[in-house]
Amino acid sequence: MPLTEQAVETAARRPVLSVQNLKTHFMTDAGVIKAVNGVSLSVGEGETLAVVGESGSGKSVTGLTVMRLLGRTTARVVGGSIEFVDRDGKAIDLLNLSDMGMEKVRGHDIAMIFQDPMSSLNPVFTIGNQIAEPIRIHQGFGKKEARAKALDLLRQVGISDPESRIDSYPHQLSGGMRQRVMIAIALACDPRLLIADEPTTALDVTIQAQIMALLKQLQAERNMAMIFVTHDLKLVDEIADRVAVMYASQVVEEGPVDQVLGHPRHPYTKALLECIPSRRDAQGERRQLHPIPGTLPNPLSPPSGCRFHPRCGFAADICIASDPELEAVASDHVTRCLRWQEVAL
């Protein structure tokens, strides 16, 4: 895929967002949950970075930390930095931005869409109202102009006959249409970065295909950076240029999609790929699924050394004793495995 190389180059030149060594911890009665523990990510203009992992891996918390949407009483960012480059090319330190400053960024420069469009839309306002709100707040348009822009956005996200839909309430729309409305709200102010957190998980497969195509098209038109958070490796293949695989609060492998999914260099990525039911092999035989032995570690007391060692088929003594760092296996591909050179995946 020549596009990937191009995108990686673009990212290296102009990262829109770069997260370094981020640590988000939750203070609970039972102890400290290190939900995000040393995560580094970056995404450039026109590029899509997929963040993939199972439940509890920290993928959503990473997105929410970037948006600063976590409650301050329980969630603390205890380390790292988040740098965002705004549309004038000015770098902003999101973690040290005032609440007022963050409000100007959120929904304007960085937008987010969530899994469940019913609970993220306000049930007592019309969708027209909700799409117009960010336009009026961030761009200072009047009521009439904002409504005209909202109509145009509804058209862009593929809602037919927007004039008759704009005054509908969320409950009057289907799940697929609600997600389109969410996308319209997110894109209202032409954000530089869109964070999509499992945007198609609640949708039927035919509607999922529609939303995926829509996201891809809108992103290309606007040259937007996108972080696509998902549990589904099959979607990663369809939409992303690069992918970061998360396990137990850390990125364990990151690189171009065809590299990571085609030639994984971390045992967890490989194991995850073998869990996916796929088409039969060339002989028409059903492929045996290989579940990952064991269970996800308890977030309150993760294992020592490599987090994956208790479930890893390649674990050696060294994996229990020392913490692996991300190592480069190629110029644009990293893995957090001490034994990546020895093990044949």
Task: Please give the residue ranges that form the binding site for other proteins (CB under 8 A).
Answer: 54-55, 174, 176-177, 204-210, 212-213, 231-235, 237-238, 271-272, 274-280, 284, 286-292, 295-296
Report, in Å, the least distance between residue 162 CB and other proteins.
Answer: 15
Report, in Å, the least distance between residue 256 CB and other proteins.
Answer: 18
Nearer to other proteins, 143 or 234 (CB): 234
Nearer to other proteins, 100 or 282 (CB): 282
Nearer to other proteins, 57 or 129 (CB): 57
Nearer to other proteins, 135 or 292 (CB): 292
**H helix or E strand, kind and range, residue 81:** strand 75-85
Report, in Å, the least distance between residue 246 CB and other proteins.
Answer: 13
Q: At what angle do helices 143-156 and 127-139 cross, to 10 degrees?
A: 120
Nearer to other proteins, 19 or 251 (CB): 251
* Residue (of 108, 15, 23) closest to 61 by Cα position: 23
Tokens standing for residue 252 = 């364990």
Report, in Å, the least distance between residue 94 CB and other proteins.
Answer: 30
Report, in Å, the least distance between residue 155 CB and other proteins.
Answer: 15
DSSP string, 149-180: HHHHHHHHTT-SSHHHHTT--GGGS-HHHHHH
Buried/exposed 205-220: b ≥16 CB within 10 Å, e otherwise = eebbebbbebbeebbe
Tokens standing for residue 307 = 């987090």
Report, in Å, the least distance between residue 160 CB and other proteins.
Answer: 9
CA gap 8, 74 in Å, rounded: 36
Provide CB contacts within 8 A for 48, sequence distance 6+: 7, 219, 225, 226, 227, 228, 239, 240, 241, 242
Question: In angstroms, how far is CA 322 from the centroid of its own chain?
Answer: 29
* Residue (of 300, 301, 303, 296) closest to 29 by Cα position: 300
Nearer to other proteins, 42 or 208 (CB): 208
Nearer to other proteins, 14 or 216 (CB): 216
Report, in Å, the least distance between residue 96 CB and other proteins.
Answer: 35
Nearer to other proteins, 148 or 212 (CB): 212
Report, in Å, the least distance between residue 38 CB and other proteins.
Answer: 23
Report, in Å, the least distance between residue 91 CB and other proteins.
Answer: 36
> Residue 295, Cβ neighbours under 10 Å: how many?
8
CA gap 201, 42 in Å, rounded: 24
CA gap 296, 200 in Å, rounded: 24
Q: In Å, what is the CA distance from 233 to each residue of 53, 75, 290?
A: 9, 28, 16
Nearer to other proteins, 55 or 331 (CB): 55
CA gap 344, 339 in Å, rounded: 10
